[in-house]
């Protein structure tokens, strides 16, 4: 993850997912807690979320951490992997997208997931004594190899309740880079990176993921 000391949030979380991990049994319980590796002055606390009206929304889905180790799954509840999410956003549209990606991984074997918050400007709501910023939206990128090529999808969804279908939020990786100010996959050869991140390449595969 790439953690922002000033925002007290992770700007990106990246992880690999495999079908056998997803199908592993879950832990019996979970406990959100502050990350012990982050200094007190630059991290969130559970009290920031109490009574805020926002869920503690996972970036890396806790269920995706199954099958690795009990420690890994428990650490998915560290608040460095959490951001304020509207309840209906977290529990409906965001959860639906997470489950679509999980279904794809179970059916096809593996994939890389990158996800994080988006702030459209410098003016944002904050919660709690530590003034944890509420993101305007969240992005999710999914990448997998497919038939000796590359399959990629990206989404930007506003942090609010919505009745729109998931394909309404499909965007190119270039678009995610433009609003997140993060240069993804910059170590790839330029021709492969340009193809992977462009609109034409991306739009051809969204329906495949969401079927």
CA distances from 211 to 125, 143, 155, 170 (A): 36, 16, 15, 13
- Angle of the 190-197 helix axis to the 173-180 helix axis, nearest 10: 90
**Secondary structure of residue 186 in the 3-state scheme:** coil
- Residues 6+ positions from 92 with CB-CB distance below 8 Å: 161, 162
- Overall size of the chain counted in residues: 211
CA-CA distance, 175 to 33, in Å (whole number)? 33
| Alpha carbon separation from 138 to 26, 30, 38, 109, 173 (Å, rounded) | 25, 23, 23, 25, 13
Which of 58, 123, 186, 202 is labelled catalytic?
A: 58
Token pair for 126: 């904050």
End-to-end Cα distance, the chain: 29
**Alpha-carbon gap, residue 6 to 13, rounded angstroms:** 17
Q: List residues bridging with 118 in a β-sheet.
A: 137
Cα–Cα distance for residue pair 45/80, rounded to 1 Å:
10
Specify whether 186 is catalytic: no
The single residue listed with the structure tokens 């240069």 is 183
Catalytic amino acids?
Answer: 58
């Amino acid at each position: 993850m790439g953690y922002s000391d000033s925002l007290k949030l992770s700007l990106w979380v990246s992880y690999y997912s495999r079908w056998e991990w997803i199908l592993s049994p879950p832990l019996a319980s979970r406990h959100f807690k502050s990350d012990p590796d982050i200094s007190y002055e630059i991290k969130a606390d559970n009290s920031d979320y109490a009574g805020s009206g926002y869920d503690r929304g996972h970036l890396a889905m806790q269920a995706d951490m199954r099958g690795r180790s009990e420690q890994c799954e428990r650490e998915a509840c560290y608040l460095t992997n959490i951001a304020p999410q509207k309840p209906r956003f977290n529990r409906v549209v965001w959860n639906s997208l997470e489950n679509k990606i999980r279904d794809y991984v179970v059916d096809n074997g593996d994939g890389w997931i990158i996800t994080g918050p988006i702030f459209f400007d410098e003016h944002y709501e904050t919660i709690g004594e530590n003034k944890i910023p509420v993101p305007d939206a969240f992005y999710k990128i999914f990448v997998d190899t497919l038939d000796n090529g590359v399959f990629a999808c990206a989404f930007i969804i506003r942090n609010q309740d919505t009745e729109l279908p998931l394909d309404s939020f499909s965007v190119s990786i270039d678009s995610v880079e433009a609003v997140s100010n993060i240069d993804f996959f910059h170590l790839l050869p330029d021709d492969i990176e340009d193809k992977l991140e462009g609109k034409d390449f991306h739009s051809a595969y969204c329906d495949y993921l969401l079927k």
